[in-house]
Amino acid sequence: MKESIIKIQDVWKKYEMDSTEPLVVLKGINLNIQTGEFIAVTGPSGSGKSTMAHIIGALDKPSWGEVYLKNKSIAKMSESSLAFLRGKTVGFVFQQFNLLPTLTALENVMLPMEIINKPESYAKERARKLLESLGLGDRLNHKPNQLSGGQQQRVAIARALANDPEVILADEPTGNLDTKSGQFVMDFLEKMNEQGKTIVLITHEMELVKYASRVIHLRDGRIEREIINKKKNR
pLDDT level of residue 231 (50, 70, 90 thresholds): low
Cβ–Cβ < 8 Å for 100, 72:
no
Domain contains 234: no
Domain contains 223: yes
In the chain, the number of structural domains is 1
Domain contains 17: yes
pLDDT level of residue 17 (50, 70, 90 thresholds): confident
Q: Between 105-115 and 120-133, two packed helices, what is the crossing angle to 10 degrees?
A: 130
Cβ burial of 78 (10 Å; 0-12, 13-18, 19+) is exposed
pLDDT at 76: 84
pLDDT tens digits, 55-103: 999 999 999 999 999 999 998 899 889 988 998 899 999 888 999 999 9
pLDDT at 232: 67
- Pairwise CA distance, residues 221 & 3, whole Å: 26
3-state helix/strand/coil string of the chain: CCCEEEEEEEEEEEECCCCCCCEEEEEEEEEEEECCCEEEEECCCCCCHHHHHHHHCCCCCCCEEEEEECCEEHHHCCHHHHHHHHHHHEEEEECCCCCCCCCCHHHHHHHHHHHCCCCHHHHHHHHHHHHHHCCCCCCCCCCHHHCCHHHHHHHHHHHHCCCCCCEEEEECCCCCCCHHHHHHHHHHHHHHHHCCCEEEEECCCHHHHHHCCEEEEEECCEEEEEEECCCCCC
Domain contains 233: no
pLDDT at 226: 95
**Angle at CA 213, nearest 5°, toward 179 and 215?**
80
Could you tell me which of 40, 80, 68 has the C-alpha nearest to residue 200?
40
Could you tell me which of 169, 172, 191 has the C-alpha nearest to residue 182?
172
pLDDT at 101: 96
Domain contains 56: yes
Q: Give the amino acid at 206.
A: M
Domain contains 107: yes
Domain contains 127: yes
Domain, as residue range, for 146: 4-228
The domain that contains 86 carries what CATH number? 3.40.50.300
Cβ–Cβ < 8 Å for 152, 97:
yes
pLDDT level of residue 229 (50, 70, 90 thresholds): confident
pLDDT tens digits, 113-135: 998 889 999 999 999 999 999 99
Domain contains 29: yes
pLDDT at 34: 96
pLDDT at 3: 87
